[in-house]
Amino acid sequence: MAQKESLKEVFKNDFLIGTALNSFQIQQKDTAANRLVLQHFNAITPENSMKATHLHPQWDKYNFTLSDQLVAYGRQHNIKINGHTLIWHSQLPAYVKNLNNADSLKQYMKDHISTLAGHYKGKVFSWDVVNEALEGDGSLRKSIFLKLLGDDYIIDAFRLTQQAAPDAELYYNDYNIEGLTKRRAAIALIKKIQAAGVRIDGIGVQGHWAAVHVPLADIEQSIQEFSALGIKVMFTELDLTVLPSPYKRDVVDVSQRTLPNTPATNPWPNGLPDFKQAELSKSYEDLFKLFLKYKDKIGRITFWGVHDGQSWLNNFPIAGRTNYPLLFDRSYQPKPAFYAVIATHHR
């Protein structure tokens, strides 16, 4: 099969194909990655440049430089931009984390959302309005937003974004929400937003899974149940780790980074063996078969990174490992998994 085939072209009548861009790629300093982005992707998400610690470092100071470059790049090349993310408990600047009264935090949230979403009004296709607000047990995360503002801060965040960016699609984004416990909690959350008369257009299922066991039945059930709420389903941060998990359960909490790098936890520093390459390909093939089955309900599939060398999974949950979770390798070449994904559409 010709290497020239393009993901965005193959799936152009099904769903958007997206990728996450880091700062070098946004500045177009990574020319090899830039070629892949233009060839294969029609949606982009910034890895970090729109997060509060980068973009809103002081109470009255915003730094739009990098995110403006991202938006200009997307608009120049007719690539849809997903803003990531407005309200998240992590990567908050110190002045926010140290707040201790509700009025100040409410003012921060209002200023942050109205300034950011307003700055990109008409330019950003969609926003991850609230990110990772649920705990593993389905309760609301004990974030500073919950502690100071109470349960309704999520509704308020969507309301503020709707006012500031009336033409943008508004999403809730989280990990492990394909699983039963968090799925039920996410459904309840969406229904609560809808009942308040506030718009929510979609939900982002992050898709940080292990190639050795992708939870296909849970994913299918989540597509059915989320779409039944009248919203789009997105898979927003897709990557499939091939390395052994040091945990006894799935962990995607970015604060959990305390384990040593050993040959047992980093078994393939110099290349992925054929049997793991085949496992990765089969898992991506199975996933995209499922995505195509529900293409009328899915708005976007976004890979969390352009190529393996960029992936956050090289450093999470153990720093310095060599992971291989994406469709393009460290030399920017398509892997067998790429061709497996393409082939799902040709069958």
Q: Going by C-beta distance under 8 Å and a sequence separation of 6 or more, which residues neighbour residue 342?
A: 1, 5, 7, 10
- To the query of whether residue 169 is one of the catalytic residues in this protein, the response is no
Task: Identify the pLDDT of residue 261.
Answer: 87
Q: How confident is the model at residue 1 (pLDDT cuts 50, 70, 90)?
A: very low
Q: Are strands 126-131 and 208-210 parallel, antiparallel or unpaired?
A: unpaired
pTM here is 0.94
Q: Which of 132, 169, 178, 285 is catalytic?
A: 132
Residue range 300-321: average pLDDT?
Answer: 95
- pLDDT of residue 347 exceeding 70, the answer is no
Residues 346 and 323: their CA atoms lie apart, in Å, by 29
Q: Going by C-beta distance under 8 Å and a sequence separation of 6 or more, which residues neighbour residue 76?
A: none
Average of per-residue pLDDT values in the chain: 95
Helix extents (H) in 126-237: 144-149, 153-164, 180-195, 216-227
Task: Identify the pLDDT of residue 252.
Answer: 57
Q: Which of 47, 178, 237, 279 is catalytic?
A: 237
Could you tell me how many residues make up the chain? 347
- What percentage of the chain reaches a pLDDT higher than 90? 91
The CA-based dihedral angle spanning residues 100, 101, 103, 108, taken in that order and rounded to the nearest 10 degrees: 10
Task: Identify the pLDDT of residue 179.
Answer: 98
pLDDT digits (tens, 9 = 90+) for 150-209: 999 999 999 999 999 999 999 999 999 999 999 999 999 999 999 999 999 999 999 999
- To the query of whether residue 132 is one of the catalytic residues in this protein, the response is yes
- The Cα angle at residue 184 between residues 140 and 294, in degrees rounded to 5: 125
Question: Domains in the chain, ordered, with CATH?
Answer: 7-346 (3.20.20.80)
Query: Under a CB-based contact definition with an 8 Å cutoff, are residues 308 and 325 in contact?
Result: yes
